[in-house]
Structure 1
Amino acid sequence: MSSEITQALEQAIASLIAEGKEPSVALIKSRLSRPLPMPLIIQALQAWKKNARVPNIEQTPAPQNQEARIAQLEQQVASLAARLEQLEQQSGSS
């Protein structure tokens, strides 16, 4: 899926350049065959302006249900709490 997004963005930018137009978010969006979130388009345009190429862009799907989202967030909180505790121990022993 990510390669499809990257290819679509590359094709949109290439077609604009071939027409002698400066790529912009609005012009790229108008050239896409399917809608993409604005942050992905902005990320691609910024990378293209810096490196003259579109990076491999991935769009992560949202969790299917609320329970999965809650479980994911709980896992993140536990991981962050463990990292915080480790940092506190390091700073306490210094």
Structure 2
Amino acid sequence: MLTKDVTQEIEAAIEQIHALGKEPTVALVKSRISTGVPMPALITAIRSWKNAKRIPKVEVAAQQEPSDRLTELENKVATLTARIEQLEALLGEKA
């Protein structure tokens, strides 16, 4: 499974919130990041930042682009269609 490192994105959001004079919370951090990060990972990152001013590495599963998935499905359909046509041709020869 492919993963994406979002540590820098989370750290930037926390620093941005802190620079505004606010206390970083899960809701504030989550609203400032573009990647979906599980709540337990955000809680751990915020706690670590509050205690040591550092964030542990946070990785999430990388999402495959929809266009890539569509292309992949189209290729599978084309391959399966060709195989069906070959099988029908073989069955037609035997009949």
Q: TM-score, normalised by structure 2?
A: 0.56
Amino acid at match of 2:13: A
Mapping of residues 23-42 of structure 1, within 5 Å: 23-42=24-43
TM-aligned CA distance change 1:60 to 1:33, over 3 Å: closer
Deviation at 1:59, TM superposition (A): 3.0
CA distance in structure 2 between the partners assigned to 1:56 and 1:23 by the alignment? 18
Aligned with 1:55: secondary structure? coil
Q: Please provide the CA RMSD for this pair.
A: 1.5
C-alpha contact (below 8 Å) 2:7/2:58 kept by paired residues: yes
Q: Which residue of 2 aligns with 1:20?
A: 21
C-alpha contact (below 8 Å) 2:13/2:29 kept by paired residues: yes
Q: Which runs of 5+ in 2 are unaligned?
A: 63-95
Q: TM-score, normalised by structure 1?
A: 0.56
- Where is the strand percentage greater, Structure 1 or Structure 2? 2
* Percent identity (aligned): 46
Using CA pairs under 8 Å that are at least 6 residues apart, name the structure with larger relative contact order, 1 or 2.
2
Aligned with 2:14: secondary structure? helix
Deviation at 1:7, TM superposition (A): 0.6
Deviation at 1:53, TM superposition (A): 1.3
Deviation at 1:60, TM superposition (A): 5.5
Deviation at 1:34, TM superposition (A): 2.2
